[in-house]
Amino acid sequence: MRIHFKNVHLCSLVCFEKAKYNMVVLEVQDGPYDSETGKCQIGRGKNGQGIVNVKNKEKLIMKRMLIVEDDDAIRTGLCQSLSSDTLDTIGAENLMSARQRLDAERYDLLLLDCNLPDGNGIDFCRELMKRIPIPVIFLTVRDSEIDEVAAFRAGACDYVKKPFSLMVLRERIAALLERAEKRSDLYVDRRYRFDFASLDFSVDGTRVYLGSTECKLLAVLVKNSGKVLSRAALTDALWEGGEELNENALSVAVSRLRGRLGVKSISTIYGLGYMWVGDRE
């Protein structure tokens, strides 16, 4: 896809894509866009416009981890060290910031300190488990068995004591994300509960019934929650050889799904595609 930006710096573009559409600039250089290699390049267009070709991350599923740590140096170091091609790391300096980020966006994992300036991480974890099912790893200087047991009882999946090995922490994070991925047939947030294994779907506690196409569409959108999926990618996922379908087939499927789940549950990003927003509508 091609987006035109006038008088925009690359750093601004990166901020734009990372913050809003989960899209990524893979490479910057002069020359045409290579659709086979998927390289993204920048050049000059007509009337002085910068032309940027971007590739959506829908082919590279990115996980998102929120790191709640009040020490600026540790938080920045963790974000930089743990970030990878498949894991996006975002920092929060206190519980208030963490609440705001968790309410605004969906995360796959929470790395949480116990001692924070505006509250206790264990109490926050217990509160969080009542409304957002998210895997939690504690990273803390508290080394007593009482604190460790309290953390697990609050809903934590793992407990890592400082000082820690960065290599071991990476493996713990990877293992936890892998276990969570194996349970990807279940989606739960504050409004929706979808069990794709048993085809049991509910909205605000009320069961809804979905057709085959609607179920497949919902599964693709939910698996890529918070990411923009192009019409072409969705069509390919729902119907093999989708280029032969009427161009309105996807629009009809999206409209029917919205009718059952709520109009704002699926966001239309004009010119790009669709994105599942769920209870953040």
Q: Which CATH architecture has domain 63-182?
A: 3-Layer(aba) Sandwich (3.40)
Q: What is the location of CATH 1.10.10.10 in the chain?
A: 187-280
Q: Is the pLDDT of residue 139 over 80?
A: yes
Q: Is the pLDDT of residue 50 over 70?
A: no
Helix, strand or coil, per DSSP, at residue 40: coil
Instruction: Name which of 169-178, 255-264, 272-281 the model is least confident about.
Output: 272-281
pLDDT higher at 256 or 24: 256
DSSP 237-268: HHSTTGGGS-TTHHHHHHHHHHHHH-GGGEEE
Q: Is the pLDDT of residue 70 over 90?
A: yes
| For residue 117, cis peptide bond before it (omega within 30 degrees of 0) | no
CA-to-CA distance for 234 and 276, rounded, in angstroms? Answer: 12
DSSP 205-245: TEEE---HHHHHHHHHHHHTTTS-B-HHHHHHHHSTTGGGS
DSSP 142-156: ---HHHHHHHHHHT-
Q: What is the pLDDT of residue 242?
A: 52
Confirm if 158 and 172 have CB atoms less than 8 A apart.
yes
State how beta strands 200-203 and 192-195 pair. Answer: antiparallel
Fold of 187-280: Arc Repressor Mutant, subunit A (1.10.10)
Using pLDDT thresholds of 50, 70 and 90, give the confidence band for residue 280.
low
CA-to-CA distance for 152 and 146, rounded, in angstroms? Answer: 10
pLDDT higher at 36 or 165: 165
Q: What is the location of CATH 3.40.50.2300 in the chain?
A: 63-182
Q: Is the pLDDT of residue 108 over 80?
A: yes
Give tens-digit pLDDT for 236-253.
888 875 555 666 889 999
Q: Is the pLDDT of residue 160 over 50?
A: yes
Helix, strand or coil, per DSSP, at residue 92: strand
Which of 259, 256, 258 lies closest to 277 in space, CA to CA?
258
Q: Whole-model pTM?
A: 0.55
Confirm if 114 and 86 have CB atoms less than 8 A apart.
no
